[in-house]
Structure 1
Amino acid sequence: MTDNAQNSDTEDDNWGVLGELPGDFMMWVLIASELLVFGAALLAFVAVRATDVTGFAADQQQLNQTAGAANTIVLVTSG
């Protein structure tokens, strides 16, 4: 076995289970960080909405439902 192959095997052994994941390790760091950030933002939104139910209900009455539906359709159908 060449030195490069031995170094590669040794590097994979150092990562343990993470060495078996497909793709680059930094890709998984990016995915995990995005999950944490968007999960925290969603939890913050739910917490604020739960504490101010009347404020959210009043603001929903002022929204234009046609514009909201059109925006949703554009976002869902866009590539």
Structure 2
Amino acid sequence: MYFEAIFNPADKKEYNTEAAGFVGKRLPIQEGWIIDEGPHKGLQCYYAPNTTIGKIPVSDLQELKSIPFARWQQLYSSIDSENK
């Protein structure tokens, strides 16, 4: 499944410097796994392909929703072009 959400981390220090550029932006994301350690243990995580943000716990995402692949590709392309 394909998802979109606004990246809004509670603690920006948990992420690398690239992640700061995505705060407040709508991202194309994909479902990951259940986090098995740390402060977000037990939460579902997601990831944003073609970024180095890493795992994103569901608690750091707003307006998470399933979207059609065509919409996901649009978001992915816009993020990809911003990173070039």
TM exceeding 0.5:
no
TM-score by length of 2: 0.25
Would you tell me which structure has more helix in proportion to its own residues? 1
Would you tell me which structure has more strand in proportion to its own residues? 2
TM-score by length of 1: 0.27
